[in-house]
Structure 1
Amino acid sequence: MFRKALIASLLGSILVSCNSEKTEIQEVQEPKAEWIDMFNGENLENWTPKIYHHEAGDNYQNTFRVVDGAIEVNYDDYNEGFNDRYGHLFYKKPFSAFHMTWEYRFTDQWLEDAASYTYRNSGVMFHSQAPETILKEQDWPISVEWQMLSEEEEGVPRPTGNMCSPGTDVFFKGEKDPRHCINSTSPTFKWDEWVKADLIVFGDSLVIHMVNGDTVLQYTKPQIGGGVANNFDPQYKVDGQALTEGYIGLQSEGQGVIFKNLKIKEL
């Protein structure tokens, strides 16, 4: 009896030790996701501009610049007008499931030869094609947009955190939505007010837009489709193809805007 009790005791100790080791191994294999600073506050290292009418990497007239530790979209050097130079500044790598957060506010700079809808309007593109695959004369990247808007006319609602879809489709309330843009439920903000934005994306399933900590829009199944984007390479426009990952880009479309505190973590 004593021998059996001793063996049982030893086996119990071994099992406890093994379980403890498994727990430790599991903790090592599943580290907690860490926030990554996307912007170093000093220069545009790790970012690539792509502006309509220009090749990828050409930051025409210093459109995207670093001012006081933030990324600023600025048109001071656009001496020949806007000429539809819609632009995007892309981060260095693609993401699939992630949580991105940033703060933004508009400036009082707007080029009057830009389309009227660009007034106090900008955005962050995600699940985008890579900048080097965007043709010189392609106006918009095939992507999904967290659209940033501010008040245009006092007293008239103009929510921010909307969804727009150049060359893409999404499902809203369970059905594929034919609209190019879907409005969020956010309040309207003044143009010079700082707004905190969050974008949570789970591959090609759920997408969540948040404004100042509140969820304002949810949709699902981002995929290639729809219109708006023009002059693209057909190999990157396969309608119905699920968007499981892609690049992130900050937008410039004739309206001055400032981005700061850009962070991201993979989920």
Structure 2
Amino acid sequence: MPTIKHLAFCALSAALAGCSQNPSTDQAAHSADTPQWQTLFNGENLDGWTIKIAGYPLNENALDTFLVRDGKLIVNYDQYDEFKGRNGHIFYNQPFSHYRVKVEYRFVGEQAKGAPDWAWRNNGIMYHAQSPQSMALEQGYPACMEVQLLGGNGSEERHTSNLVTPGSHALYQGEFRTDHIIESTSKTYHGDQWVEAEVEVHGDELAIHYVEGEEVIRYSGMQLDDGTPLTEGYIALQAESAPIEFRKVELLNLKGCMDPKASNYKSYYVADDPQTCQH
């Protein structure tokens, strides 16, 4: 039962911020509204990730392409004499269907020799990707949706967080598109500056790209070339000849228990998973 002192405090402060007569209820509501971001890259090693580089067996980190240095996940080409089409990806080991994934990245250094001009300061966040275990030995890209990360050249406009569709398609502004690249409305980020990129994904129904917290493109109807809906898959970071650093890779799961009576209910979930409910 609330004390007289507590009731008096509520009456005094209600006009400013409101006051519940049940502090534990307030705390539970706050917890349900508080996003629980999961750190995918721990800043120390590549635990929880699987490497696949074209032409190499699963988890062979050819020429130290992927490194951890000074708390950052690095795509590195110091040991490459020539690129030779060795596109690589590093996959987080757990698939997801409804989520937000956020990275902080920057391009650094020189492109690997022999790489195509279009790949200069070009990388990507692959999502809803096929598993690395299912990729062929020489396969350069997983079938997936891609948030294309591009760095500026110091003068020209070059949008980042574009939509790229390796082995896939989507609906953009209500129209089925077969374009391989659909540009975003982002600003251009020149030099070696850090940039925050995020994609919010709701199964195959909706995807929204954000750059520095601002929406730059949205689309829906994500699917493979054969029309199979892309409802879930793996998250991967690309190695496409451009040295790049990631200092943050985080995920907010948007699928979980949507029963308000459960202790692990979250108000921001968009897809229900009743089996996870804790009562």
TM superposition score category, shorter chain reference = 0.7 to 0.9
Q: Secondary structure at the match of 1:110?
A: coil
RMSD: 1.8
The one-character-per-residue Cα deviations of 1:108-135 (angstroms, maximum 9, x if unpaired) are 2211301111101111100000000001
Deviation at 1:178, TM superposition (A): 1.7
Residue 142 (structure 2) aligns with? 141
In the aligned structure 2, how far is the partner of 1:217 from the partner of 1:78?
35
Identity %: 40
| SS in structure 1 at match of 2:118 | helix
Aligned partner letter, 2:138? E
Higher relative contact order (CA 8 A, sep 6+): 1
**Counterparts of 1:66 and 1:162, CA distance in 2:** 27
**Offset from partner CA, 1:48-87 (integer Å, 9 cap, x none):** 11001112111111100001001000011113x1110000
| Structure 2 residue aligned with 1:13 | none
Structure 1 SS opposite 2:250? strand
Question: Which whole-Å CA distance do the structure 2 matches of 1:61 and 1:44 have between them?
Answer: 16
TM-score with structure 1 setting the length: 0.82
User: Deviation of residue 243 (structure 1)?
Assistant: 0.3
Unpaired segments of 5 or more residues in structure 2?
A: 1-21, 255-279
For the residue of structure 1 that corresponds to 2:63, the secondary structure is helix
- 1:99 counterpart = 2:100: yes
For 1:189-204, list aligned pairs within 5 A: 189-204=189-204
Contact 1:108 1:256 in 2 (8 A): yes
The one-letter code sitting in structure 2 at the alignment partner of 1:124 is I
- The alpha carbon displacement at 1:102 in A equals 1.0
Shift of 1:33: 5.0
Question: What TM-score do the two structures reach when normalised by structure 2?
Answer: 0.78
CA distance in 1, matches of 2:176, 2:34: 34
The residue aligned with 2:64 is: 62
1:188 match: 188
| Distance (Å, rounded) in 1 between the aligned partners of 2:45 and 2:110 | 22
Query: Structure 2 counterpart of 1:195, which letter?
Result: V
Q: Quick one: which amino acid aligns to residue 245 of structure 1?
A: E
Distance 1:206 1:47 in 2: 26
* Distance in structure 2 (CA, Å) of the matches to 1:137 and 1:109: 25
Rg larger in 1 or in 2? 1
Answering whether residue 220 of structure 2 is matched by residue 261 of structure 1, we say no
Q: 1:157 to 1:54 in 2, by over 3 A?
A: same
